[in-house]
Amino acid sequence: MTDKKMTISEIKTALQNETSFSSPLVESLRHDSRKGVQQALLALEKRIEDNEKKVSAFHHRFDYERKFWQSGVKYVAGIDEVGRGPLAGPVVTAAVIVNDDFNLIDVTDSKQLSASQRENLYLKIINEAVEVNIAVKDNQEIDKENIYHATQLAMIEAVNGLKHKPQRLIVDAVPLDIDIMQTTLIKGDQKSISVAAASIVAKEYRDHLMKTYDQIYPGYDFADNMGYGTAKHLDGLRKFGITPIHRKLFAPVKKYQ
């Protein structure tokens, strides 16, 4: 039990470890009339509610995988890509297989996460997934094949490189010419946990690659724009021309050759 001898600061610290709104500590604080205590309880209630929503959404993103597992499929791979739109750099794809022990509830569409969240989750996904495989198609292949086909080829390569051969694929938006049953989902990274994990892995891998390219080819702001056509990137093209990683057939890169 607690009483008014605890300061509001101490109470806030104690509540940081609470995961239930019916614990003995919380029950005792309900009768504390101090405004700061009641505000702390409201903050705790909101945090618990937000976490419950996050857990519920996480389980919902397992619906497709769970359905396939229940039908007898052992390995389901989620596939996603990043880098179809930039003017420079490769397209990166990832294939991720998880099982029902996978419990990273923060895994969702990589675009909804901060850079630090993605980096933290990337390492955890690598450790917790059954398997992860990455495939990259550089700017030269993108110019040769076109970005859509290059993306398909990279996705197929990511799948074929898996040691645990999947019997089912969940693919974000891009159907694949591969002899494996597949479910193609629009915004699949918001609907499937394995696709969401793949989106984070591909995004982190490509971001780190573009930060390296920023050191090799300064003046284009690759570390911040990741090769997309921002004002600083376009200014770099005007000042310095194209680099070996630019997609030559993409507008407006073509006019700087």
Pick out the residues of the known binding site for a divalent metal cation. Answer: 80-81, 172
Phi, psi (rounded to 5 degrees) for 171 = -115, 135
Contact 193, 98 (CB under 8 A): yes
Q: With the C-alpha atoms ordered 160, 163, 166, 167, is the resulting torsion angle positive or negative? A: positive
Contact 194, 65 (CB under 8 A): yes
Query: Distance (Å, rounded) from C-alpha 21 to C-alpha 55?
Result: 16
Query: Distance (Å, rounded) from C-alpha 137 to C-alpha 144?
Result: 11
β-pair type (76-82, 131-137): unpaired
Burial code (b: 16+ CB inside 10 Å, e: under 16) for 201-240 equals: bbbbbbbebbeebbeebeebbbeebbbbbbeebbebbeee
The binding site comprises 80-81, 172
